[in-house]
Structure 1
Amino acid sequence: MISRVERGANYVLLLVFATFALWPVGTIVVAALGSDGAPGGLANFAAAWETGRFGSSMLTSVAVSAFVVVVAGVFSLMAGYAFGTMTVPGGTVLFALFLLGLTVPTEVIVVPLYFDLRTFGLTNTFWAIALPQVAQSLAFGTFWMRAYFRSSPTSIVEAARLDGAGTWRILWRILVPAGRPAIVTMIVLTFMWTWNEFLIPLVMASNGQLRTAPLGLAFFQGQYSSGFALLAAGAVIVALPVVVVYLFLQRHFLRGMLDGAVRE
């Protein structure tokens, strides 16, 4: 049984770590409300939004992130289900290829990928930004969902099969609802990585018409912002969607992470 002293020490330790984690965030928010050559207060956000033209870049990021999350999520569920519950011909080799996608950094593939997409006339299009990130997210999603399906109770699957349920019904009606925390964790991580991706949009859409939010912030820093307050306000605007998504789904996200840690 944990004593009061141990519990108090745990709270103090957590408070220290929380302070270290939140201090940079608080610093940026305070700077965004300052008046360093800017209107000051909440007016900084409106000024940064207008000056940096974040409307179009945020819309592009929302479209790309939504597409990547949905497409990569669906394919990850199906691939993870196949690798986790079925005997797939050549499954070991195929799964090793998926794992290879987790080890190859974007910097290694972005140049040859650019020339491949240019051959098909896809550069400076939505697909040039979204499809490579679908492939990247699919590698992690398959690995993550395979671990979940392998740890799912086999008795439930066997009982469903005895009742006449097919493969698709077992996946979508039984395993997917039960695996909501794991799926939400995958969605949050995929959204966060896609939203923050910088190199692929920079290389694949160089004409600036499909500029994403991180790219918009970078160009805002270099061309438009004359003070740190507006730059900080722009950073808050770009980071806000990730924070909102995490706060909205944090219960399932934390549960999925903890379940994964316990199963491992």
Structure 2
Amino acid sequence: MTPVTAKSLFAKGLIVLLMIITLLPFLSMLSAALAPSGSYPNGLQWPADPQWSNFVKAFEVAHMDQLLLSSTLIVLGVVPISVLISTMAGYGLAKLTTKKYKWLYLVFVFGLTLPFEAVITPLYYEVRAMGLLNTRFAIILPLIGLYMPFSVYWMRAHFLNVPNDLSEAAQLDGATRWQEFMRVQVPLARPAIMSLTILLFLWTWNQFLLPVVLVQDPLNRTMAGALGAFQGQWGTDVPLLCAGALLILAPTIAIFLAFQRQFVAALMQGAVKG
């Protein structure tokens, strides 16, 4: 066996091992979700009589239809605005900022170091002072601001890799800065924009801390945030709780699988200069 073949087999084996490790928790949750309601599943074992009705019951008792609507409204309020602002800001920092104002970029880098937990208390009092407590805007507006550092950093990294010759060519053709941005830069940034959209969707959909702290009504939270109330009500019914958790995870997994090519393309794009 040649060294190249040995390395290839080792790499494939490592990937398979990582896949198994990643899938084991989901398989354990699935087997637990199919156990009879009210029972206590013991480890990873497939039930003799799978209770698929647990998913239907979890959907009904958790009011998943209303949670889906609430999560969708929050995602639609956060993701498009965040992507729009960060795309323009990333382009401005990469192409329009002079050396005198390069320090502005450090503000966004500093924002990457701030965890949500560090700002949740002042954020609570700020939202309450604005009269937005217990509304979906209490989730939407803070998330837009909290996502800005990473989003701007992500888009700036893309625009830095775009050759300046393209901008100069567009300007020689008579294009304004806005026309150049819309007709040249944005089409080239499509993979980065798509991947950022996917990331922000996943983070918003799975946001747990802010909805729990800022919104009391579970039906106005994200689906992940409502899981806390669902757990408090049905925490003793492990199969039902696992079924509800899998229903909450299903949309994020579906979105990632549907757009994984765009996500990988944006990651690979960062490895290519010029």
Length-normalised TM-score, structure 1: 0.92
Q: How does 1:1-264 map to 2 (within 5 A)?
A: 3-37=4-38, 40-88=50-98, 91-262=101-272
Give, as a single letter, the amino acid of the residue that structure 1 aligns with 2:247. Answer: I
* Partner secondary structure for residue 220 of structure 2: coil
User: For the residues of structure 1 that align with 2:232 and 2:77, how far apart are their CA atoms?
Assistant: 29
Larger helix proportion, structure 1 or 2? 1
Aligned partners of 1:52 and 1:224 also within 8 Å = no
- Aligned-pair CA distance for 1:28: 1.4
In structure 2, what residue type is equivalent to 1:236? Answer: L
Q: Which amino acid aligns with 2:26?
A: V
Asked if 1 retains the 8 angstrom alpha-carbon contact of 2:70 and 2:219, the reply is: no
Of stretches 177-186 and 243-252 in structure 1, the one that deviates more from structure 2 is: 177-186
Which one-letter code corresponds to 2:110 in the other structure? L
Q: Which amino acid letter does the alignment assign opposite residue 31 of structure 1?
A: A
Amino acid at match of 1:230: L
User: How far has the Cα of 1:54 moved from its partner?
Assistant: 2.1
- CA distance in 1: counterparts of 2:100 and 2:254, whole angstroms: 41
1:36 Cα deviation after fit: 4.1
Gaps of 5+ in 1: none
Report deviation, 1:174.
1.4
Q: 1:4 deviation in Å?
A: 2.8
Q: Give the partner amino acid of 1:30.
A: S
* Post-superposition offset of 1:72: 0.3
CA shift in 2, pair 1:234/1:207, >3 Å: closer
- Aligned-pair CA distance for 1:224: 2.8
1:3 is paired with a residue whose SS is helix
1:10-47 Cα shifts (integer Å, max 9, x gaps):
21111111111111122212222232438943311110
Task: Kindly state the Cα deviation for residue 225 of structure 1 after the two structures are TM-superposed.
Answer: 4.8
Query: Which amino acid letter does the alignment assign opposite residue 226 of structure 2?
Result: G
Distance in 2 separating the partners of 1:225 and 1:35: 15
TM-score under structure 2 length normalisation: 0.89
Query: Cα RMSD over matched residues?
Result: 2.1
Distance across 2 between alignment mates of 1:136 and 1:89: 26
* Cα deviations by residue, 1:99-130 (Å, 9 ceiling, x for unpaired): 22211111121111111121121111121110
Identity among equivalent positions (%) equals: 35
CA contact (8 A) 1:51 1:224 kept: no
